[in-house]
Structure 1
Amino acid sequence: MKSLPKHKNFPKRSLQKQRGLTLISWIFVIAILAFCGMFAFSVVPMYAENMYVVKALKSLADPGERVLEMSDSEIRKKIQNFYLINNVRSEGPQNIVIDRKSRNLLITIDYENRTNLFYNIDIVTVFKNHLDGEHPDLCCRPTGDKREVKY
Structure 2
Amino acid sequence: MILVSSCLAGLEVRYNGTHCLNEKIQKMIEKKQAVTICPELLGELLIPREPAEIIGGDGGDVLKRKAKVVTQSGQDVTEQFIKGAYEALRTAQELDATVVVLKENSPSCGSTMIYKGDFSGNKINGDGVTAALLRRNGIKVFSEENFEDFLKEM
TM-score over 0.5 for the alignment?
no
| Short-chain TM bin | under 0.3
TM-score scaled to structure 2, two decimals? 0.25
Q: Kindly indicate which of the two structures has a greater share of residues assigned to helix.
A: 1
Larger Rg: 1
